[in-house]
Amino acid sequence: MTQSVVVQVGQCGNQVGCRFWDLALREHAHVNKKGLYDDALGSFFRNVDSRRSDEDSCRVGGRIQRLKARAVLVDMEEGVVNQVLQGALREVFDATQLLTDVSGSGNNWAVGHMTYGSTYREEIVDKLRKAAEHCDCLQCYRGEGHGTGSGLGTRVLGLLEEEFPEVCRIVTAVYPSADDDDVITSPYNSVLAMRELTEHADCVLPVENQSLLDIVNKIQLMSAVEKPGSAIRRDGSVIWGGGGGGLAGAEKPFDAMNNIVANLLLNITSSARFEGSLNMDLNEIAMNLVPFPRLHYLVPSLTPLYTLADVSVPPRRLDQMFSDAFSRDHQLIRADPRRSLYLAAALLVRGNVQLSDLRRNIQRLQPSLPFVWWNQEGWKTGLCSVPPVGHAHSLLVLANNTCVKPTFTELRERFGKLYRKKAHLHHYLQVEGMERSVFSEAAESLDSLIDEYQRLDATRGRLTPDAARLAVAR
């Protein structure tokens, strides 16, 4: 049995992370009717009996006593974490898993990375080590790096590499778009964070705020069209209120967007949490989808989304679900992978789906999907037998595709407009340890990344004949 640890950093990271724990508990409660602590629960939860001194005394096979998430929560503003401790998930975390401050980073990457990263370095490392000590076989650290570019989040990522170099590091990163960005210096934050993500993560799942907002608006529109006056259903599916996963208070504007990201995490971890005929280990994602170490940005798409609008909407046919997953409307970034080049792709299917269904759809879709010439069979598949609550089946596609290049190019242009004028640089340079060279190195790293994607895009359509076989002497 392997275990994974989730590291939640920042306001958005903690809101999304806590929503993930809320949904995961709902799934396990739906499946685990006997109340036994099994391998599925053990992958992301510990079973603790407060009456015994040995916290790890509750082994697999015994009754569930008190579940504790395998998680570390870090935030330099204590508001969200305090809400967690007052909400429905307060029993899932304890003080040893939390690290907070009161002042916040003020949307300044340098403050989070340099100041707080140095001040709290030993405490962060101590909490990471304690989380790892509770794992019999630590498989993966999942980071929740979100927002305009979390300086502390990328510092934690570097610490993970130092302390656990052999453990896979998967990061979810939310990118602001020019249309919805209300922080003028966010291009600085994002580009500075990009360098750290490129150098220290094994996989990054990029998600765009605008793409999430578009999906939420479509679902709301569908709800109104299908059944006038109906509301989006709130049964533990993707679009659900409640403050982002057990948080107290009224629904907030970004809750629905955060919930979509939480469901992405729910699906990517499903094979680690439940049995299946073709389970996919989290380590296999980086192993099979990342042919070049720096090109590890995997575009996620999720289906079904439309059934969340109303219970009366009929379920899509299985084959249509696969087609939807490769359409731009279901991508969590604004991109069209069919017009770019695939390096590899993973299909993570949940529910009663046969291997023959999977093969048939790959054969049907493959002619229309432009794969790089040296990896035409670059598919990784996973079948998890347990579907999401309320659905017959679901599909998550992770595509290593050059379509991320426009997102990064737009980010570079926004960064350049500020940096050429040296606008607001003094806010960063007055932070101890921050120098002008950090900006130039981050910009060079992003330029290099875009160039690598550009060179791959240029090979689209290339057909290389099979190498000549050696003649066999007679």
**pLDDT of 409 over the 70 cut:** yes
Within a 10 A sphere around the Cβ of 131, how many other Cβ atoms?
Answer: 22
| Residue (of 303, 312, 217) closest to 257 by Cα position | 217
Would you say residue 8 has pLDDT above 90?
A: yes
* Distance of alpha carbon 69 from alpha carbon 27, whole angstroms: 14
Residue 123: Cβ-neighbour burial (10 angstroms; 0-12, 13-18, 19+) = exposed
Which 8-state DSSP code applies to residue 88? T
Residue 246: the pLDDT is 46
The answer, yes or no, to whether residue 242 has pLDDT greater than 80, is: no
This prediction's pTM? 0.90
Name the average pLDDT for the chain: 86
Tokens of 442: 């981050």
More confident residue, 425 or 317: 425
* Residue 280 in this model has a pLDDT that exceeds 70: yes
What's the confidence (pLDDT) of residue 247?
46
Check pLDDT > 80 for residue 178: no
Using CA atoms, how far apart are residues 349 and 45, in angstroms rounded to an integer?
Answer: 23
Q: What is the pLDDT of residue 469?
A: 52
The pLDDT value given to residue 26: 93
Give residue-wise pLDDT tens across range 99-144.
Answer: 999 887 788 999 999 999 999 999 999 999 999 999 988 888 877 7
Q: How confident is the model at residue 49 (pLDDT cuts 50, 70, 90)?
A: confident
Who's near 440: CB < 8 A, 6+ residues apart? none
Q: What percent of the chain has pLDDT over 90?
A: 61
* Per-residue pLDDT tens over the stretch 18-38: 999 999 999 999 999 999 999
Least confident of 60-69, 237-246, 386-395, 406-415: 237-246
With contact defined as beta carbons under 8 Å apart, do 180 and 209 qualify? yes
Copy the structure tokens of residue 254: 């970004």
Quote the pLDDT of residue 126: 96
Distance CA 460, CA 370 (A): 7
Q: Which is higher by pLDDT, 55 or 372?
A: 372
pLDDT band at residue 84, thresholds of 50, 70 and 90?
A: confident
pLDDT(463) > 80: no
Percent of the chain, pLDDT > 70? 85
